[in-house]
Chain A
């Protein structure tokens, strides 16, 4: 007789328990004199074990093993294969497993890569990461086991929420989690540095790629979420200041601040304690984000199962890990050497101001997100804080940041600018004026929108200035900074234009009828049924023309999914002149007329282009102070040995 293997889900479950054991070894070993070397192998083992568990769960989803409760609750044999796989993390347990997997793989990566700060330091950083891993593995196994079996197994699953059967949302969580995990690594490196009491330019150089990578992925993840909301929800907007959106935005704000302050530490050796504090804060806020999303304390448009036990577990993890780290910071930070001094209008000064503005933004978003909870606790009144509050409070600061982003990279390190400096600002000032006037000519109504146009023009031109009239090949850092700032400028322009210059029409039409909006004629050509793999839909065909010439054909749908039964709105979107024509179809009401909501969204593509440029810029900047090898110019990729410029 052949030996009977236990079912694959049981193997996955076992792998998770073994991974927890490995994580505990990884967390404990570095603090022991002789066991220190065990941390790296333990991290590697943990990485492989969690990978094994994840593959086991993936297998269960792929072959529709309905003896696993999670598969039954979230999958269906008729579901397209791609969404069977993305269904792994389109639920609480699976998404936490994905989070742990990415963290474990990061640990594996750290364990396999050379240790720039020495093996002992690496062991300590791995130890801190091991504590985080162990906490989340315990959370998985005790409060959110993805491998829970049901006996007898059902013959069919209940399917996945159709809103989640979408490429934008399928890859939104993994992207965001890679970002969060990058922040965990930065956190681990910061705590290890605090414990060793040595924070140097070297530490900053070793840590900055992780922060830059984390920031790039957070940016992409948030952009993917916004993109999904934009085309899937059919409301014509891309950011709603929902608590779940804010939960992702807050760590991004801190990561942005950290990315800039670590630059100061790397180049000038200044702001060591501040940078370490930000590294801990970034981790704290990514934990807070996980808590907000998973505990259900805040009501949100996004539906997630509510379980107070899970919330409590996450809260204890959050308080324990970040509380411990802040305690270490409070005790050890005074022993870290003072930072180097700098003048107020130096590069450092601008980066400090950047950090302060970002923290102010963070504070405003945090207060707005938690206020409904506080008010209900105190007075029992229910309030919802939405775009009116957030737009009024954050947009002026965002404009200030845009101005600062333009001027900062032009300033010199350490000293105030030389007298002729203001002359360099003429081109961006002229661009600001020009953009503002163009915006006015296009029909901008509010001061804020005009300022948004002007700030975007300023930033777009200013971000290119450092290369004007320079013969030297730029460093990766300077080039990446410029790309990211250019992306921010384009995103600002896209956000302002798509909001302030949008045209919309809400009409009820019979087939053959038409209407005019923003200089375009739109005609309802047909409404008919269409079918997909697990849905059927009514699809409207809209012909859009301008001065008699066809511009685009839009096909918005009102979809009905079979498992689970659910109706969704699929917007019809066609790009036009850097923006979108966007239409949503109402449900049939039996009157023979069809409700159509039609938008013209100018320049909305710049938002997505901007986000991609920002992420690309961060990736390029991770290349550091090396200079690029220009084609045809033999210039080796070497970094200059001493990063502190002689003045």
Chain B
């Protein structure tokens, strides 16, 4: 067991370990961010640079009107997410969020299946005054816009 340190040394040790706790922990956490974070894709992004099947991602866009069907089990919902230029077929098993509606924005968290469809584990639909989850609002803008 360590004895008592001289005041100067004690302070040095304290300051050093504090700086390490604050900066070091943050730096050590950085690799986990890339590893555990879920990247956001719009349907057009999935066409352009497709993520590996099985990676957890978030898919955002508008629920295509007329595309929502409930399957025979009474629990699984199939619908199409569009960003205006591309479409992705989505399946989701679970309770539908209150604000989920055709023609409205939605963010689905889940995985891409090998056949190109998207299996959602979580649906997030939200509207405030702008009636859009912010990511969806963003995703709808940069999609392949031909020069005017």
Contact = CB atoms under 8 A, between A and B. Distances in A.
Contact of B30 (A299, A338, A366, A367): A367
A393 B95 CA distance: 30
Nearest to A303: B128
Interface in B1-57: 1-7, 10-11, 14, 17-18, 20-26, 29-30, 32-33, 35-40, 56
A362 interface: yes
Interface stretch (A35-43, A214-222, A340-348, A424-432): A340-348
A158 B47 CA distance: 42
Nearest to B5: A341
Contacts of B25: 359-361, 363-364
Contact of B138 (A271, A359, A371, A382): A382
How many of chain B's residues touch chain A, expressed as a range?
A: 35 or more
Interface in A521-564: none
A360 B30 CA distance: 13
Contacts of B96: 586-587
A506 B33 contact: no
A323 B6 CA distance: 32
B95 A597 contact: yes
Nearest to B76: A508
Contacts of A392: 32, 36
B37 A384 contact: yes
A165 interface: no
Nearest to A390: B36
B56 to A, nearest CB: 8
Contacts of A388: 36-38, 56
Interface residues of A, number: 58
B99 interface: yes
A628 interface: no
B70 interface: yes
A178 B18 CA distance: 29
Interface stretch (A128-136, A456-464, A588-596, A612-620): A588-596
Contacts of A385: 33, 36-38
A591 B10 CA distance: 72
A355 B22 CA distance: 10
Interface of A: 234, 271, 274, 296, 299, 301, 303-305, 338-339, 341-345, 352, 355-357, 359-364, 366-368, 371-372, 381-386, 388-389, 392-393, 416, 506-508, 566-569, 584-587, 589, 591, 593, 595, 597
Interface of B: 1-7, 10-11, 14, 17-18, 20-26, 29-30, 32-33, 35-40, 56, 58, 70, 73-75, 93-96, 98-99, 109, 124, 126-129, 133-135, 138-139
18 contacts: A234-B95, A341-B6, A341-B10, A359-B18, A363-B21, A366-B26, A367-B30, A381-B40, A382-B135, A385-B37, A388-B37, A388-B38, A392-B32, A508-B73, A586-B96, A587-B96, A595-B95, A597-B94
